[in-house]
Amino acid sequence: MNITVFTKEKCSLCASLKEKLVLMGKKFKVRDIEYLTELHEGWRDDGSVEVLAGHALVNRMIPMVQIGKGYFNYTGSMRELKRK
């Protein structure tokens, strides 16, 4: 199962989520949401468009977690991971 956590700098809720994932023994990648949601070189190739769509689905909440092909907010991601 692929897990990606989208965070921003100095986000305590993001740090808490990453800590919980470590305690759960889950491997995950971390990506900077602020970089991906601003116009930048390579936006077509790095998945920014998909990340923006996922971010809209979770009402622009941070942290956002991608589990497989689904996007979740903090609580939704915990429910999804416990379900799997």
Helix axes 12-23, 74-83, angle to 10 degrees: 10
What are the residues facing 67 on neighbouring strands? 3, 70
Residue 73: how many other CB atoms lie within 10 Å: 18
Residue 16 scores a pLDDT above 90? yes
> What are 24-79's pLDDT values in tens digits?
999 999 999 888 877 778 877 877 878 888 888 788 889 999 999 999 999 999 99
Contact 9, 16 (CB under 8 A): no
| Buried residues in 26-57 as b, exposed as e (16+ CB within 10 A) | eebeebebeebbeeeeebeeeebeebeebbee
